[in-house]
Amino acid sequence: MNGKLVIVAGPSGSGKTTIVRHLLGVYPRLAFSISATSRQKREGEMDGEDYYFLSVEQFKDKINKGEFLEWEEVYPGTFYGTFRTEVERLWQADRDVIFDIDVKGAMNLKKYYPDQSISIFIQPPSLETLAQRLKKRKTETPEFFQQRISKAAEELTYASKFDKIIHNHNDLDATLAEADKMVGEFLELRTKS
């Protein structure tokens, strides 16, 4: 049985993780797709809960074995991807799947499942606001911070390729309400089909 896919993407600091966590609380049928990554674990993160943490060599081996639905080298030497088995596992449990994913990964998933997915781009107010949000996190070196900002500028150009865009300005309640409405309407289609 195939379920639905809710693909949420946007630049780092756009608010996609906050929105995904909210939607998981609102729609019990949704289950989070845990991505694989070759990046280092951050403080408080758990393997198999936040990400599946792999070495670069392990990641490349799994690419060669065709284990990913999609994968991207998001930053030099830092890979992210979605295991085919992760989506199948959740569908077998009769769940719809929600993703918190990078922009190119979102495009690849949408191509793979065009009719059973909705792609939602989280649009920050501006690149400057995004930079301020990332600085507040204090999780990156100055060099990596610059990489993230450059990547974010590129990712913003993808917004029009998504099914829907949510403008995440400074009113979190309004942003979450908009996400609720979009996802609720999309998941409702599942019960009517």
Domain spans of the chain? 5-192
Q: pLDDT, tens digit, for every residue of 58-86?
A: 999 999 999 999 999 988 889 999 999 99
Both structure tokens of 92 = 């077998």
Q: pLDDT, tens digit, for every residue of 21-65?
A: 999 999 999 999 999 999 989 889 999 998 999 999 999 999 999
Pairing of strands 5-9, 96-101: parallel
CATH fold group of domain 5-192 = Rossmann fold (3.40.50)
Predicted local distance difference test score (pLDDT) of residue 148:
76
Q: Say what angle helices 16-26 and 172-192 make with each other, to 10 degrees.
A: 50
Q: How large a percentage of the chain has pLDDT more than 70?
A: 93
pLDDT at 137 over 70: no
Predicted local distance difference test score (pLDDT) of residue 152:
84
Higher-confidence residue: 134 or 181?
181
Query: Which is nearest to 3 in space by CA: 176, 161, 193, 179?
Result: 193
The H-or-E segment that residue 82 falls in is strand 78-83
Hunting for tokens 């393997």 — which residue is that?
47
